[in-house]
Structure 1
Amino acid sequence: MSGLPFPGQAVLHGKGATQVSSERVFVISPRKSGTHLVQELLVHLGYRVYGEPVPPDGGRPAFSIRERIEMAERFLDPDEFAALDHVRDREAFIRTTDEAWLQLAWAWQTRLAVAPLAHVEAIAPEARFGPKMRPEIWTAPFSSTPAGMSWIFHSVDVWRMDNTFLAEWVNTGSPRVILNYRDPRDVLVSLVDFFSRSNGLRFLRYPESAVFGPVLESMEDYGKKLDYALSDPRMPLLSDFESAISFLHHPNVCHVSFEELVGPQGGGTRTAQLAAVKRVADWLEHDIDPASVADCLFNPQSFTLNKGRTGRWRETFSPDHVERFEARFGHLLDSFGYARGAAR
């Protein structure tokens, strides 16, 4: 062992002491709430990403030979593990351990009661038809997953989660949990743009893409798009936010918002952005200069970024839309601390 930190590990300096940062992070971020901002922050803190967002190259899961051997020995069927030889056949070793990782991640999606992912690797055949795995894949603690990972999901159901995960979290404080959110009115506007493909993106997530995309693309008038989004009970806003409420006031969850993280480039303030970066970094026990990271968060090349601005609902909502939104979703505004009010 070289003594170098694994991805996601940092050395904190203070009074001569050395401290290890949090090894695993669990992020809940409702769709179109600025998930890419949290992702960029975590990648710059050294974490790799698994879950809903499409990470930049520097954030994709990449495991060392040692990590792959440890994962294979713990989770592969003994005969499958015995057949591996990373020296004699490196290509087969990499392929098999990649498939083992996908099956491990797939199992944890189920154990965490995560809504089905759009992530391309999560729905690939290899995730379900790879090498034979040990039964422990369904019972092992979350701490047995690779270190240095951030697991990012849009919607989780804490009431259906594997109780062993919750017990581990309560008893050890790991993984560190982060909740990211955004003004639900801006989320609705961003969902309309996203499913309308008006941002030029062809990102498929079924069953939503089979319904919302064609419906919204067929409408020319933006007001009618909003009318539809406000009326379809399956529009993924209420479900994401209501499942997040359980974490909103939890003392062992770090809370951050799009409005804080986006900074001046998206209509926020530098002061709020630096404070939010420091809050997340402190939560994960990383000693960093917030300014050195904050400048990198707003990434125009992010896969799902459209406008990335605060308060867009004020430009698009009519008085009727405001009234209808508050009638249906007003409790979300109240719960997450956004003032009710009129559009411009």
Structure 2
Amino acid sequence: MSAERVLVISPRKSGTHLVQELLVHLGYRIYGEPVPPPEGRPDFSIRERLAMAERYLDPGEFRALDPRRDREAFLRTTDQVWLQLAWAWQTRMAVAPLTHVEAVAPAAGFGPKMSPDIWTAPFSQTPPGIAWIFHSADIWRMDASFLAEWVNTGSPKVILNHRDPRDVLLSLVDFFSRNNGLRFRRFPETAIFGPVLESIQDPAAKIDYALSDPAMPLLGDYESAISFLHHPNVCTVSFEELVGPQGGGGHQTQRDAVRRVAAWLDQDVDADAVAEELFTPRSFTLNKGRAGRWREAFTPAHTERFEARFGHLLDTFGYEREVSR
């Protein structure tokens, strides 16, 4: 039986869309940082919605629901139940919070009254078939009951995706420079990094800024991933493996990575067919999608500065340094 629940940690601009595409092809629906294609969005049946509502809604709120009498109100309320449940699990898993303005705007309201069980129920009571994808997680703040459930049951299956941090830094610069890099508003990127990088015209100066701002989302994402990188119950994969020939990788390496992730999730797939679909322009966060592009953009001074500040990440994640130590 395939794994019912998946947790993915994938630092910003490390090829999260490739992991998402793979999981969608494996039949999962997506919740978290990336914007999934239509076929990857959570879409619950009436039975699933009733189960969620009965488990997590305040009893009085649940008794007022009647999908036969008012289907629109039922769908609207159960959509809010899912949103509240998903946000509760962001807190319990101590992941970097989603800050899409649609989710935090006053117009969103507070939703229906929920049962206290939303803060204590096991992760196994979340809807099956969901892959939860986040950029980073704080293991010291994770709900101990979630960690205990993972240790005792092996669920959710955890995947860590990473990429050469030098390409990540360059991709962050490109992403935030493209009209804030966003089709939706997200803070602090929209408020800080986008305007700053848009105001800098020289490409080399943009990289200088990214190397100097301690708040750029690189070091935090990668350092929080180190514990997962070394964990025996985590499947590790990389952008360089998944991107395939279109992004500077290899056919066989890509197919081997697809098979490894699928096997981790107890699925048997046609790796050739799935691999052909991973590199897709429909991901709006995709810019160049090519491995090793930092070599074309970094000056020798950039390389030296990067290794002085982030060289330990290159060592830990297995990427070769250019500057002799």
TM-score range, shorter chain: over 0.9
Shift of 1:120: 5.5
190-199 or 158-167, which deviates more: 190-199
Distance in 1 between residues matched to 2:229 and 2:157, nearest whole Å: 14
Distance in 2 between residues matched to 1:167 and 1:224, nearest whole Å: 47
Give 1:68-147 correspondences, 5 Å limit.
68-119=49-100, 122-123=103-104, 129-147=110-128
Structure having the higher helix fraction is: 2
Counterpart code for 1:336: F
59-68 or 191-200, which deviates more: 191-200
Partner of 1:308: 289
Match of 2:146 among 154, 165, 173: 165
Shift of 1:249: 1.1
Shift of 1:95: 0.5
- The 3 A distance-change label for structure 1 pair 200 and 214 is closer
CA contact (8 A) 1:199 1:306 kept: no
Matched, 1:326 2:300: no
Unaligned runs of 5+ residues in structure 2 are none
Distance in 2 between residues matched to 1:276 and 1:199, nearest whole Å: 32
Shift of 1:115: 1.4
Distance in 1 between residues matched to 2:50 and 2:119, nearest whole Å: 19
Counterpart code for 2:225: A
Counterpart code for 2:297: T
Distance in 2 between residues matched to 1:31 and 1:200, nearest whole Å: 13
Distance in 1 between residues matched to 2:188 and 2:269, nearest whole Å: 41
Partner of 2:249: 268
Matched, 1:179 2:160: yes
Shift of 1:124: 5.1
Matched, 1:291 2:272: yes
Matched, 1:208 2:189: yes
- The 3 A distance-change label for structure 1 pair 163 and 335 is same
Distance in 2 between residues matched to 1:65 and 1:316, nearest whole Å: 52
Match of 2:34 among 27, 40, 53: 53
* SS of equivalent to 1:157: coil
CA contact (8 A) 1:112 1:156 kept: yes
* SS of equivalent to 1:210: helix
Shift of 1:209: 1.9
- The 3 A distance-change label for structure 1 pair 254 and 128 is farther
Distance in 2 between residues matched to 1:203 and 1:256, nearest whole Å: 28
- The 3 A distance-change label for structure 1 pair 83 and 166 is same
Shift of 1:122: 3.9
Partner of 1:62: 43
Runs of 4+ in 1 over 2 A off after TM superposition: 118-128, 198-204
34-43 or 117-126, which deviates more: 117-126
TM-score, normalization by structure 1: 0.91
Shift of 1:204: 2.6
Distance in 2 between residues matched to 1:223 and 1:318, nearest whole Å: 8
* SS of equivalent to 2:285: coil
Instruction: Give the % identical residues.
Output: 76
CA contact (8 A) 2:180 2:190 kept: no
CA contact (8 A) 2:10 2:160 kept: yes
Distance in 2 between residues matched to 1:127 and 1:179, nearest whole Å: 32
Distance in 1 between residues matched to 2:146 and 2:17, nearest whole Å: 26
Distance in 1 between residues matched to 2:179 and 2:288, nearest whole Å: 11
CA contact (8 A) 1:99 1:126 kept: no
* SS of equivalent to 1:108: helix
CA contact (8 A) 1:106 1:122 kept: no
Give 1:234-249 correspondences, 5 Å limit.
234-249=215-230
CA contact (8 A) 2:166 2:294 kept: yes
Partner of 2:170: 189
Unaligned runs of 5+ residues in structure 1 are 1-19
CA contact (8 A) 2:211 2:305 kept: yes
**How many residue pairs end up in the alignment?**
323
Distance in 1 between residues matched to 2:185 and 2:304, nearest whole Å: 31
- The 3 A distance-change label for structure 1 pair 209 and 199 is closer
Partner of 1:15: none
- The 3 A distance-change label for structure 1 pair 45 and 121 is farther
